Structure 1
Amino acid sequence: MTDAEPGLRERKRRATRLAIQQAALRIAIEHGLQAVTVDEVSRRADVSPRTFFNYFPSKEQAILGDDPTLPQGEEVEAFVAGGPSGDLLPDLGVLLVRSARELIEERGLIEERQQVLRANPELFSQRMASMKEFQSGIQVVVERRLRRGAGLGDGDGDGTADLDTDTDTDTDAVLRRRARLASLVGLAALRHAWWEWSESDADVHLVDELARSFDDLGALVSRSLV
């Protein structure tokens, strides 16, 4: 499931992004968070401050690294429409695999980042906030899929509910509850894959670990939500 080898331009982009993160983390470990400045990070990473801001909006984000984001456009719409397999959790796994492809996959940063986060609770809180936002985004697209599957349209209230509930309000509450559950399960599988990947052999790809985590999840769940 790994992607084809990236081109030279993409390799340079990833190398620059990685160098900026490494510099920010090492300054924080060696001298404390207050010593991390855009100018110092840029100097150590051998880039200009302008280049720094092309990659990260702030020094804090350089330390935290890339936030996971859902793919946009056709991939999300295909998921909402019930694809690619028709089973919710495996399909959510496919969507998150595509999200994981955008992450910087450098094991060397994990231990250093955790060290900085432990020493700076405010950064840990920021990381948790970004993950909560990501989970909310997952919940939105899952709820859209559930609504469409229940004949309620794509979140605009049209159509007729097929679920066995007394009112449309009850149906909305049921779908919202299920969407939240699915999003939290999906996020847990992503975290599981991340930790398995961080402890695995060097040639193992994060995307493959995520696919494996969802396969394991499927083996544990007797039936899908839809």
Structure 2
Amino acid sequence: MPDAEPGLRERKRRATRLAIQQAALRIAIEDGLAAVTVDEISRRADVSPRTFFNYFPNKEGALLGDDPTLPDDALLSDFRDGGPTGDLLGDLGALLVHSTRELIEERGLIEERQQVLRAAPELFSRRMESMKEFQAAIERAVVERLERAGGDLVGEALRRRARLASLVALAALRHAWWEWSDGDADTHLVDELERSFADLDALVSRSLA
């Protein structure tokens, strides 16, 4: 389920971050990528360039939005140690639910961002590279979990299993993303991700029955 309603300060932070992204994308769509500058984004978003850099390192960051990342805290350590339930795919789902909670992503940006990415192969390549890095981070976490668990899997066989698990997890995340973007305004990405992993568990359980 989604987190509790954020406080006023957090709502303002999210609104500013969203306004910056909206401004960057609309400049790109209306005037072309060459017209996208930090100064112009700041002007349209009604923030100072200094405020812009508090949120994004450059204009490309504003166009691409947030990259998914694994939590660097006790949740990740618990996953590597075999928790919280002992079920690999279920625990991966819980980890990705936490990651999506950290993303500030609005339905209204999806279509515009896709339009910009289709017209800018270099930005699309950067987005694909960031997803590749995210997949690699998931794979490393799974490798460490499997190593700590012991068992018969070692070396190349362990790496293959970890890569498969990471790609299956990302497929569930992508499924949730599609369902969320096509759904009604009241649904939350975290809820859709939980449903996608529940559906995945049902499919796997049925295939093994």
TM-score, scaled to structure 1: 0.90
- Residue 111 of structure 2 is aligned to residue 111 of structure 1: yes
2:157 partner SS: helix
Among residues 156, 180, 184, which one is paired with 1:201 in the alignment?
184
How far apart are the structure 1 equivalents of 2:43 and 2:149?
53
- Give the Å deviation of 1:205: 0.5
1:82 partner SS: coil
The correspondence of residues 128-143 of structure 1 with structure 2, limited to 5 A, is 128-143=128-143
User: 1:183 corresponds to which letter in structure 2?
Assistant: S
Match of 1:24 in 2: 24
- Give the Å deviation of 1:174: 1.1
Give the conservation status (yes or no) of the 8 Å contact 1:70–1:99.
Answer: yes
The correspondence of residues 171-186 of structure 1 with structure 2, limited to 5 A, is 171-186=154-169
Query: In the comparison of the two structures, how many residue pairs are matched?
Result: 207
2:205 partner SS: coil
The correspondence of residues 48-67 of structure 1 with structure 2, limited to 5 A, is 48-67=48-67
Runs (5+) with no aligned partner, structure 2: none
How far apart are the structure 2 equivalents of 1:90 and 1:199?
24
Match of 1:15 in 2: 15
Match of 1:154 in 2: none
How far apart are the structure 1 equivalents of 2:161 and 2:3?
32
- Residue 198 of structure 2 is aligned to residue 215 of structure 1: yes
Deviation per CA, 1:31-55, whole angstroms, max 9, x where unpaired? 0001000000000000010110110
How far apart are the structure 1 equivalents of 2:77 and 2:183?
33
Q: Which has the larger radius of gyration?
A: 1
Percent identity over paired residues: 77
- Give the Å deviation of 1:105: 2.8
Give the conservation status (yes or no) of the 8 Å contact 1:26–1:112.
Answer: yes
User: 1:98 corresponds to which letter in structure 2?
Assistant: H
Deviation per CA, 1:89-144, whole angstroms, max 9, x where unpaired? 00000000000001113100000000000011110000000000000000010110
User: 1:78 corresponds to which letter in structure 2?
Assistant: D
Deviation per CA, 1:152-200, whole angstroms, max 9, x where unpaired? xxxxxxxxxx30x7xxxxx111111111110011111111101100011
Match of 2:173 in 1: 190
Match of 1:158 in 2: none
1:23 partner SS: helix
Give the conservation status (yes or no) of the 8 Å contact 1:193–1:209.
Answer: yes
Give the conservation status (yes or no) of the 8 Å contact 1:20–1:41.
Answer: yes
- Deviant stretches of 4+, over 6 Å: none
Match of 2:68 in 1: 68
How far apart are the structure 2 equivalents of 1:131 and 1:24?
21
2:69 partner SS: coil
Higher helix fraction (1 or 2) = 2
How far apart are the structure 2 equivalents of 1:60 and 1:105?
16
Match of 2:95 in 1: 95
How far apart are the structure 2 equivalents of 1:12 and 1:148?
42
